[in-house]
Structure 1
Amino acid sequence: MKPHPLYINGQFVASESTEMINIVNPGTEEVISKVVDAKDEDVDQAIEAAFQAQKNWEKTPQVDRGLIVRRIAEAIHADKERLAQILSEEQGKPIHEASGELDGAIDFFFYMSEWNRKIGGEIVPSDDSNEQILIQRKPIGVVAGIIPWNYPVFIFARKVATALITGCSIVVKSSEETPNTAAALSEIIHQSDLPKGVYNLVTGKGDTVGNRLSTDARVAIISMTGSVPAGTKVMEAAAQNITKVNLELGGKAPMIVSKHADVDLAVEHIKASRIENAGQACISAERVYVQEDVAELFIDKMIRAMKDIKVGYSLEDDNVDMGPVSSAHHLDKIEKIVENAKKQGAEVKLGGERLDLGKGYYYKPTVLTNISDELEIMKKEIFGPVLPITTYKTFNEAIERANDSIYGLSSALYTNDYNEVMQASRDLQFGETYVNRMTDEATQGYHAGMRKSGIGGTDGKNGINDFLSTHVMYLKYNE
């Protein structure tokens, strides 16, 4: 089994590295491919290719960049079925979710292509009547895009499309767990009109490849999606050159269910949020606060809803609702945090253990009650299909407890009370809050967190601005 090649300066190239990483299908535990843990020399070549390509790419008219981004979107759309199969096989999510992730990625490329005549600066008034102050927005330079394993196609799109439309070249490091989709997307980009060196792909581990990208002075911004510990390492490495960082890290999203909520709607959305990608999403429902007047009703309905979830391997069964978690190591982590919760008094209403299907890394959809905020499961990211539910008396209490976290990425509120919505908009300390809807960000929004959940984002107008530098021109003239 040959490893996937790297993609550097418009060519698929082999690495000199002999260190191989096995890629395991989490639904079957079979090795499906191999990638190399690239050497520093490989990463250096990719950065140099991007650095040289940057000089001409940033001068390419926006309209031309937009056409290339659009053609990439069209090519991904044409190959969507094959790509969804690759994604489901390497990551474990059901084929319908893989197809949905491809839809999101395609939409993101199309959206960014539409900015092809919209990125601009501004003129601000001077204190001198014989002067103009021109604020220019320019491409920031080479982007290092570090992709996670949980949404390897969608996050790829968010980093690559944003880089390309803003006039930045990019070096992508795919996850060492899910590199197959990045390799397939590189084949599509190779067939596009993108000049060589503007897009590059390297594979390997964060401690080697990621660190090399983060410490190179030719890199202008490091855009990384991943865990808080990994983001901390990136920030520390980037500090050597004062390199800008763009980090989307972990979350511990609170779901607040008010006594004024449509309980059925809340159950439907929170269940869907928790089983999507087997709970392995940074905006997934990680903790639920239910007003005590409706708690019994909500918990009863949630248990019944979670009981109906069919778990399995969707490439063998089209009716599967939820697939495996990503790896044996991750399954162990989920099991450990639930076992600790049990020892600390949590009551298992449903699930609470592995699901033995003979092969694969499966965990039963789980509902826990009798939860206090001091428990580890209410503080640490579970990243699995486990729903800890607790109750509250007053709305002020719910807000205060929701905010009591090192994370600040996503939150949700279910209520039909106008005053609660307005109070939440003022007091919730999160990058985004969803009111009476699914936790699924819009392309034109801005997916960014507070506190340890990260810095900056890559979507919408604000994401574009993160990939631009500011140059102020003071234009003095004489009458």
Structure 2
Amino acid sequence: MQTEVIYNPATLEKIVDVSYGGTKDTEDAIQAAHQAFPQWSSMTARERSGLLYKANQLMLEQAEELAITLTSEQGKPLQESRGEIKSAASFLLWYAEEANRLYGETIPSSMPSKRLMVIPQAIGVVGAITPWNFPASMITRKLAPALAAGCTVILKPAPETPLTAIKIVKILEEAGLPRGVVNLVTGDAKAIGSSLLNSEIVRLITFTGSTEVGKYLIKESSHTVKKLSLELGGHAPILVFDDAQIDQAVDLTLASKFRNAGQTCICANRVYVQRSIFQQFTDKLIAKVKEMKLGDGLEDGTDIGPLINLSAKEKVQRHLDDAVAKGAKVIKIDNKETSGLKGHFYSPTILTNVTDDMRVMYEETFGPIIPIQPFDEEDEAITKANDTNYGLAAYMFTKNLDRSVRVMEKLQYGIVGINDVFPALAEAPFGGIKQSGIGKEGGHHGINEFVEMKYVSMGIER
């Protein structure tokens, strides 16, 4: 059996060998899901709900073990991992409840001899492809609604972070999930993905990852006309207006940007600050960043962990080099003791004197760099914020209610945070517009991605 080594990105030490699957493993998983689907989809919603409730309880009971595993393979600070496990469990709880609320409808007929109904039914076998940056919550955000709806699943986690996925699947088994309902395949991304895309059995691909890969999935899924649910890249702006509570804006900007070392699809990528408070905001930001600790996520007091791998670190450096070459002023916060760190660490960096042609202002950096640019008028900030092909999340800080409404309505994003940079909740729809994705995850909207509406027209004798 072929295996792959999983490393800790903070220490570069080997954690364990895991199996490295490919085409044959994926085809076996598809068949297992196909065979399990009739029984699973015919169970009552209440029965499926009970299993998800049990899985939620087990995940919370095993939360610390899961968090340690997550930090070990992914790198984020342990406190962040604990929060992610709690979030992951919340999706199991929410969809345990939503399983019992998947309603159809009756339609008043224009003809006396007809009765019209719409019935939601599970779409079938689902291929779920999840990323490394949130290896727990991105799994349950897909699995929970799929299972609640009656679908069976082939889960392909990111090759960098399979250990959290393995533990989650074991929890689902422990909760009583029937054999074949969830099938985990780790390994060759291209081979696994191709098998899912080419299969006539797999009716839906749900994916979180880059826009580039999303476009590939759109193209290749056309051969079998699959349904797609895609949560893709982002380039989130933060707009800080002069009536904002500055300390709050600084704290939440840092929390957004440096969460998971900047490796999140909805984190702050560019910060626009109204000119009258620009210097004050920047000074406070620098002071706060100097207090942050870079280090191993398993060590107490760590605020920023490593990047996931060397390639990620090199990309961040390319973005910085490009900005410097185009005139950016660099404020690199490297006054902490970092000489003993072996992993893929990158010091938090603030950029001023930035211009719109710099890559950090239009490409997703996925690292701890904050570019800050002043603006004068509200409309100018909105125009700059919308000047992107992405449309996942945007944020603003203001205490003006009228401005909140005006700006919110004009921002071309699927998610808008007003004095809030943590919008993702199990009960709310999450998803972008433009090239940031198709469909929604979370909320009552999320389960609808996994069902098809069957229209029934019944003739009756009067």
Report the TM range for the smaller structure's normalisation.
over 0.9
Q: 1:346 to 1:43 in 2, by over 3 A?
A: same
The reply on whether 1:255 has 2:207 as its aligned counterpart is no
Could you list the per-position Cα deviations for residues 300-335 of structure 1 after superposition, in whole angstroms to 9, with x for gaps in the alignment? 1111111111110132x2111111111111111111
C-alpha deviation, 1:353, in angstroms: 11
Q: Which has the higher helix share?
A: 2
The reply on whether 1:309 has 2:292 as its aligned counterpart is yes
Could you list the per-position Cα deviations for residues 274-294 of structure 1 after superposition, in whole angstroms to 9, with x for gaps in the alignment? 111001000101110111111
Provide the residue aligned with 1:217 in structure 2: 200
Q: Secondary structure at the match of 2:196?
A: helix
- Calculate the aligned-residue CA RMSD, in Å: 1.5
Provide the residue aligned with 1:9 in structure 2: none
Does structure 2 retain, via aligned residues, the 8 Å contact 1:171–1:200? yes
TM-score, normalised on structure 2?
Answer: 0.97
C-alpha deviation, 1:88, in angstroms: 0.5
How many residues of Structure 1 are paired with residues of Structure 2 in the alignment? Answer: 461
Of 414, 417, 424, 2:407 maps to: 424
Amino acid in structure 1 at the alignment position of 2:285: M
In structure 1, what is the Cα distance between the partners aligned to 2:289 and 2:209?
28
Amino acid in structure 2 at the alignment position of 1:188: I
Amino acid in structure 2 at the alignment position of 1:141: G
In structure 2, what is the Cα distance between the partners aligned to 1:265 and 1:333?
30
Amino acid in structure 1 at the alignment position of 2:129: I
In structure 2, what is the Cα distance between the partners aligned to 1:263 and 1:105?
32
Q: Secondary structure at the match of 1:380?
A: coil
Does structure 2 retain, via aligned residues, the 8 Å contact 1:140–1:221? yes
Does structure 2 retain, via aligned residues, the 8 Å contact 1:215–1:241? yes
Provide the residue aligned with 1:345 in structure 2: 327
In structure 2, what is the Cα distance between the partners aligned to 1:348 and 1:108?
40
Of 257, 272, 277, 1:289 maps to: 272
The reply on whether 1:390 has 2:399 as its aligned counterpart is no
C-alpha deviation, 1:211, in angstroms: 2.1
Give identity over the alignment, percent. Answer: 34
In structure 1, what is the Cα distance between the partners aligned to 2:442 and 2:185?
23
Does structure 1 retain, via aligned residues, the 8 Å contact 2:87–2:425? no
Provide the residue aligned with 1:333 in structure 2: 315
Unaligned residue ranges in structure 1 (runs of 5+): 1-15
Does structure 2 retain, via aligned residues, the 8 Å contact 1:254–1:286? yes
Does structure 1 retain, via aligned residues, the 8 Å contact 2:290–2:335? no
Could you list the per-position Cα deviations for residues 447-470 of structure 1 after superposition, in whole angstroms to 9, with x for gaps in the alignment? 111111111122111111111101
**Between 354-363 and 188-197, the greater mean CA deviation after superposition:** 354-363
Does structure 1 retain, via aligned residues, the 8 Å contact 2:20–2:188? yes
C-alpha deviation, 1:21, in angstroms: 2.5
C-alpha deviation, 1:356, in angstroms: 4.1
Provide the residue aligned with 1:277 in structure 2: 260
In structure 2, what is the Cα distance between the partners aligned to 1:357 and 1:233?
41
Amino acid in structure 1 at the alignment position of 2:325: K
Amino acid in structure 2 at the alignment position of 1:426: E
Provide the residue aligned with 2:446 in structure 1: 463
The reply on whether 1:439 has 2:422 as its aligned counterpart is yes
C-alpha deviation, 1:440, in angstroms: 3.2
Does structure 1 retain, via aligned residues, the 8 Å contact 2:98–2:444? no
The reply on whether 1:319 has 2:301 as its aligned counterpart is yes
Provide the residue aligned with 2:345 in structure 1: 362
In structure 2, what is the Cα distance between the partners aligned to 1:357 and 1:239?
50
The reply on whether 1:179 has 2:179 as its aligned counterpart is no
Q: Secondary structure at the match of 1:148?
A: coil
Q: Secondary structure at the match of 1:49?
A: helix
C-alpha deviation, 1:379, in angstroms: 0.6
TM-score, normalised on structure 1?
Answer: 0.94
Unaligned residue ranges in structure 2 (runs of 5+): none
Of 157, 180, 183, 1:197 maps to: 180
Q: Secondary structure at the match of 2:213?
A: helix
Of 26, 33, 54, 2:37 maps to: 54
In structure 2, what is the Cα distance between the partners aligned to 1:242 and 1:212?
15
Structure 1 segment 227-238 matched on structure 2, within 5 A: 227-238=210-221
C-alpha deviation, 1:107, in angstroms: 1.2
Structure 1 segment 52-91 matched on structure 2, within 5 A: 52-91=35-74
Amino acid in structure 2 at the alignment position of 1:410: A
